[in-house]
Amino acid sequence: MNALHLCVFLCFVFAANAQSDKVFRVTTPEGETIFTDNPSGNAVPITLPQGSEMASSPITPLPKTAGSLLVKQHADSTHYQMNVVSPKPEQTIRSNIGQVNIQTSLHPKVQGVYTLHLNDQVMSQNSGLFRLNSLDRGVYTFYIEFALKSGKILASTSKQTFYLHQASALNRPK
């Protein structure tokens, strides 16, 4: 009988302890939302509605680690799509001054860094429009990557080629 009373008492103690746990939401500078039971400086407490509990089948609990319980919602769960608007694949561009505009579109739009890889040279900026000047005539291969400020790449385009033509100085009329 004493063992039964002890079991009932322990069940009430563990149930009360489970009810007192709090959950906090933290948003990182990269926009990542983290739910945790260990609050930090900018943590916002979350109140769970009554009845949000569910009965589960008995399981063997794992030993708790020193760190806090974390459940992350990653920004990469969203599918990002980036396309090259111009130039079109295999397009011939005629510009005597060597000016080429490379433009991309990104869906959904978020803050980040665009990196252009043009013939193994790298150029980064905050918009998807690259204005290139003083390019020599020839064949150019490029692709563009979009990344968060943390460096995590969210989207990239496939490699694409364009041809830059310039009028020859030898063919000018006399």
pLDDT in tens, 17-59: 454 467 888 887 777 788 787 777 788 888 766 665 666 667 6
Tokens coding 139: 């064949």
pTM here is 0.53
Domains of the chain: 2-48+67-73 (no CATH), 78-171 (2.60.40.10)
DSSP secondary structure, 17-44, as one string: HHHT--EEEEE-TTS-EEEESS--TT-E
pLDDT at 100 exceeding the cut of 80:
yes
Q: Where is pLDDT greater, at 67 or 105?
A: 105
pLDDT of residue 47: 77
Write out the E strands in the chain.
23-27, 33-36, 44-46, 70-73, 81-86, 91-94, 100-107, 113-118, 121-125, 129-132, 138-147, 153-156, 160-165
